[in-house]
Structure 1
Amino acid sequence: MEPIRRHFDHQLPFTLLLDYKETKSPQRELPDHQHDWYEFIYVYGGKGSFFIDQTFYEMHPGDIIVVPGNTVHRGFPDNEEPVTSSALFFSPALIHNHTYSESYPYLKLFDAAKTNKQYKYTLSPEHAEILQNDIEAIHREREQNQQDGGQALTLLLHLTLLHLNRYCLPQAAEPVASSPLLPEWFREALSYINDHLDQPLELGTLAGRAAISPAHFSRVFKQRLGMNVTDYIATKRIFAAKDSLLQSSYTIEQIAMACGFESLPHFYRTFKRITSMTPAAYRKSNRAY
């Protein structure tokens, strides 16, 4: 399933949007999507996972998720205890280097995240409080809608990005030396899986396409994504099934077959294991929303 592209209204008074302290149900989250604007998410509480650039991250209070522009991503709030978070979106046009003694790279963390394939960072309580105050200041400024609000928001955004660089970049420095970038065969395997969820995806076949042994394929997969190949494929198929349940009128059996499950009982078992709901209950709860 191709990711959708979210478009922002560039005619807004400010090319900056803030979803402030929102608690989203799984039904309200967008499917895999991307956008030109940059985004970061601060987690206040609850549980969930976040999918970005073919990697899953668990979300916990104090976490920062960094989303560079044009990067496919998606949130998965927990059914019982969904994440409460603030998401700040901004156009890169807002970022200008202010020259004092030297220019300052405000988007350095976003560039490092994409280079190092590390999109999640965890703040200490002290630093988390500072970032919460930054977000609160942006929220208040947007609510006041002052005539000079654009200038104020731009300054507050620059300060927030400076704090993110200061508190998160030291964490980004650690894996760079010890963790090589993703090998090309691994990226191609993830892309192939994503494009062929409706077809049989066996470990031996995937390893053969990558021209490596199944054992090596499995080992690298587990190291990189934190789950084995079978669980990853099942999770991606369930994500696709959830989208189809909400966006189509196909029967559950049709959706199961289209998402690559060899039998309806297998689909039901896997769906319940991953979502804690049956497919019918998931579809019904969304329609009642």
Structure 2
Amino acid sequence: MKPIRKTFGNELPFSLLLHYKETKSPQHELPDHLHHWYEFVYVYRGKGTFFIDQTFYEMCQGDIIVIPGNTVHRGFPDKEEPVTSSAVFFSPYLVNNNTFSEAYTYLRLFDTAKKNKQYKYTLPPEHAQIIESDILAIHEEWEQRRPDGGHAMALLLHLALLHLNRYCLPQAAEPGATSTLVPDWFREALAYINDHLDGQLELHALAKRAAVSSAHFSRVFKQRLGMNAGEYISTKRIFAAKDRLLQSNDKIEQIAMSCGFESMPHFYRTFKKYTDMTPAAYRKSNRPS
């Protein structure tokens, strides 16, 4: 199965997209989200489960889910009380071009979330109301389609990110709760895969390490993540390679080997499948000039 991806066209003003107050259902939720844009999700009401990176979170009113680019994630709405949420997608380049004299890291919360592997934050009502107002303002600008609306939405996004930093970062020092939404062996398998992308991750060896059969391992993976273990591992490896391509000057061959690809043809073929471009083209087109 080729992973379903979010696609964002050039017609979007300033590389920003908002899905405003949508009520999710298992039929309308993408099996997996694979994109390089950044995203945050705000929950208004309802229940559900959210998988990101290697952790499952329960979702409820007032929750913020922070999703850095190139991070595997998927939402699972509750059948009885499906989640109603807004999702804001944006290119990191939209907020990295700071025009103020004093530097401010608008993506600090996303960087901290990725470093600490803590992606969910719960806002008290007074802070939740401010974030709701920020998202509503972006939505209203989008609806009005003014000639300068794109600029206004970019400014409003900066304000929303500032508020998220202000209200969520103090929670980043708090220890994250251990997820009880999946079996221990499955959670440990996700962590093992994440820490050993540069090695051999064969299904039978992973299942043996988890003390379950290969068939059971595959079945639970598909049920929990909507993709099989091989697809998940390939996706994680490609995302790791994309990060290395942008954050280092290492040769492409070195990056491929360090991310667990045993041959360059396999790396190029897999990279092209997931990104529709070659590694060299990705590095050239996504690095700031």
TM-score normalized by the length of structure 2? 0.65
Q: 1:163 to 1:206 in 2, by over 3 A?
A: same
Q: Distance in 2 between matches of 1:172 and 1:7?
A: 30
Work out which of the two has the higher radius of gyration on C-alpha atoms and give 1 or 2.
1
Q: Residue in 2 aligned with 1:130?
A: 130
Q: 1:107 to 1:50 in 2, by over 3 A?
A: same
Q: Distance in 2 between matches of 1:54 and 1:140?
A: 35
Q: Residue in 1 aligned with 2:69?
A: 69
State the Cα distance separating 1:243 from its structure 2 match.
Answer: 7.1
State the Cα distance separating 1:162 from its structure 2 match.
Answer: 0.0
1:88 aligns with 2:74: no
Q: 1:116 to 1:232 in 2, by over 3 A?
A: farther
SS at match of 2:172: helix
Does the aligned pair in 2 maintain the 1:98–1:104 contact within 8 Å? no
Q: Residue in 2 aligned with 1:261?
A: none
**What is the Cα-based RMSD across aligned positions, in Å?**
3.3
Does the aligned pair in 2 maintain the 1:54–1:190 contact within 8 Å? no
Paired AA for residue 149 in structure 2: G
Does the aligned pair in 2 maintain the 1:189–1:206 contact within 8 Å? no
SS at match of 1:135: helix
Paired AA for residue 144 in structure 1: Q
Q: 1:184 to 1:59 in 2, by over 3 A?
A: closer
Q: Residue in 2 aligned with 1:187?
A: 194
State the Cα distance separating 1:24 from its structure 2 match.
Answer: 1.4
State the Cα distance separating 1:5 from its structure 2 match.
Answer: 3.1
State the Cα distance separating 1:119 from its structure 2 match.
Answer: 0.5
1:42 aligns with 2:47: no
Paired AA for residue 83 in structure 2: V
1:237 aligns with 2:222: yes
- The percentage of counterpart residues that share the same residue type is 63
Q: Residue in 1 aligned with 2:100?
A: 99
Q: 1:156 to 1:35 in 2, by over 3 A?
A: same
Q: Runs of 5+ in structure 2 lacking a partner? A: 177-187, 229-289
Q: Distance in 1 between matches of 2:191 and 2:124?
A: 35
Q: 1:184 to 1:238 in 2, by over 3 A?
A: closer
Paired AA for residue 46 in structure 2: G
Q: Distance in 2 between matches of 1:148 and 1:6?
A: 26
- Written as runs of structure 1 = structure 2, the 5 A alignment for 1:238-277 is 238-239=223-224
Paired AA for residue 159 in structure 1: L
Q: Distance in 2 between matches of 1:148 and 1:121?
A: 33
State the Cα distance separating 1:92 from its structure 2 match.
Answer: 1.3
Q: 1:232 to 1:65 in 2, by over 3 A?
A: farther
Q: Distance in 1 between matches of 2:33 and 2:73?
A: 6
Q: 1:81 to 1:37 in 2, by over 3 A?
A: same
Q: Runs of 5+ in structure 1 lacking a partner? A: 177-181, 208-213, 215-230, 245-289
State the Cα distance separating 1:146 from its structure 2 match.
Answer: 0.6
